Structure 1
């Protein structure tokens, strides 16, 4: 993911602690990792899209602007965007080991503004997905997916 990585265990541990704090504050369900962004939703989304576009191993497959969708039916919703992205070369072997993973792949990042104005970036924890679908957690591809997700979340949050 670009030039920076969150391979340093201390930095990853700090993000995990921040994510647990947000969960404790009522911000997440089991299996989700959430970090706080230093920017608005639009800026956070653009950061991730730029990082995906500059990475030859990833492709952006879809973008869902739930706020705009709500507006189209005269309903209000805080800014809420989901980016769907992946790497078929990495995801296909995982799907071959557990086809039910197809319900959770490709990967997604949820970037949203909470009622208090805080912007968060949330994604599925690959270890949780592995357990959910019976994938061997020792699979090195899961580490690659986890590193990519934490890096993209850090980019979106301005913690790069």
Structure 2
């Protein structure tokens, strides 16, 4: 992980399929899908090109509320977001903010530790599954 707080996992699938899988897995886990943004389609609307890039915004009040109760400005980074994108070599990546980095960014205290740990574990699980990590 770079110092920018981002975690990137290579996906075995296209950008669209990666986001489809993530949305399905998140929904099955009881999370809410708030928005799906196709940045490449937006670029196309203005006559610009952009490699496939899609953002999924998802989460659940049970995870984010404790963080905002601790430091309300944490809400700028909530709900959780994941970006599927294709690099210049045709590889697809699924990237998201590291939960510990978010805790440090917002100065979250000990009261938020459990929620941060749960978000970190949950993200690792859904991201890995959506990207096909560890699957044959």
Q: How does 1:23-42 map to 2 (within 5 A)?
A: 23=2, 30-42=4-16
**RMSD between superposed Cα atoms in Å:** 1.4
1:111 is matched with 84
Q: How many residues matched?
A: 133
Quick one: which of 108, 111, 133 aligns to 2:106?
Answer: 133
Matched, 1:151 2:117: no
Name the CA distance, whole Å, in 1 between partners of 2:105 and 2:79.
16
Q: CA deviation at 1:139?
A: 1.0
Query: Which protein has greater RCO, CA pairs closer than 8 Å, 6+ apart?
Result: 2
Matched, 1:77 2:69: no
- In structure 1, the gaps of 5 or more residues are 1-19, 24-28
Q: CA deviation at 1:159?
A: 1.5
Taking structure 2 as the reference length, the TM-score comes to 0.92
Partner SS, residue 117 of structure 1: coil
- In structure 2, the gaps of 5 or more residues are none
Q: CA deviation at 1:37?
A: 0.6
Name the CA distance, whole Å, in 2 between partners of 1:152 and 1:55.
9
Quick one: which of 77, 88, 108 aligns to 2:61?
Answer: 88
Name the CA distance, whole Å, in 2 between partners of 1:107 and 1:90.
10
Runs (4 or more) in structure 1 with deviation over 6 Å come to none
Partner SS, residue 90 of structure 1: helix
